[in-house]
């Protein structure tokens, strides 16, 4: 595994100090894998200070600004899935673009989006 994407559920797991998530994150960073966090995921999870545990996890991540390519891919996924959840769609689009697995607390919605565009995602559920 070279790339992994964190969704909002992963960041919320970090904040609540979920031991399974923290062990996975520590394992990834020890293997020199920097998880990817789309900026909209950060916006959905961030509620202001202090969020010490989330801040610690984010130090080991790459925060990705969304771009036109990601936005268009997410829009196509929303249309195909019949959903308006742009954040989940951006997570799926990011995972597809990076050929990455996703750490999520919301496997059903991500799977529905991925299935709607004909891709399979590898998911780690927290």
For the stretch 4-63, pLDDT in tens is 999 999 999 999 999 999 999 999 999 999 999 999 999 999 998 789 999 999 999 999
For the stretch 46-78, pLDDT in tens is 998 789 999 999 999 999 998 999 999 999 999
pLDDT at residue number 124: 94
Q: What SS3 string covers the chain?
A: CCCEEECHHHHHHHHCCCHHHHHHHHHHHHCCCCCEEEHHHHHHHCCCCCCHHHHHHHCCCEEECCCHHHHHHHHHHHHHHCCCCHHHHHHHHHHHHHCCEEEECCHHHHHHHHHHCCCCCCEEEC
**What CATH number is attached to the domain comprising 54?**
3.40.50.1010
pLDDT at residue number 1: 59
Domains contained in the chain, number: 1
Residue 77 CA to residue 116 CA, distance in Å, equals 7
Q: Which two tokens stand for residue 119?
A: 């891709």
Q: Are the C-beta atoms of 4 and 102 separated by less than 8 Å?
A: yes
pLDDT at residue number 40: 97
Residues spanned by the domain of 97: 4-125
pLDDT at residue number 89: 98
């Amino acid at each position: 595994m070279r790339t992994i994407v964190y969704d909002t559920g992963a960041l919320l797991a970090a904040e609540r100090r979920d031991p399974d998530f923290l062990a996975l994150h520590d394992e990834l960073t020890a293997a020199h894998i920097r998880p990817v966090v789309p900026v909209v995921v950060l916006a959905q999870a961030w509620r202001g200070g202090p969020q010490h545990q989330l801040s610690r996890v984010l130090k080991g991540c790459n925060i990705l600004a969304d771009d036109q390519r990601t936005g268009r891919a997410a829009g196509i996924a929303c249309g195909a899935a019949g959903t308006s959840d742009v954040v989940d769609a951006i997570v799926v689009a990011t995972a597809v673009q990076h050929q990455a697995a996703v750490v999520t607390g919301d496997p059903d919605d991500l799977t529905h989006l991925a299935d709607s565009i004909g891709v399979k995602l590898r998911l780690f559920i927290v």
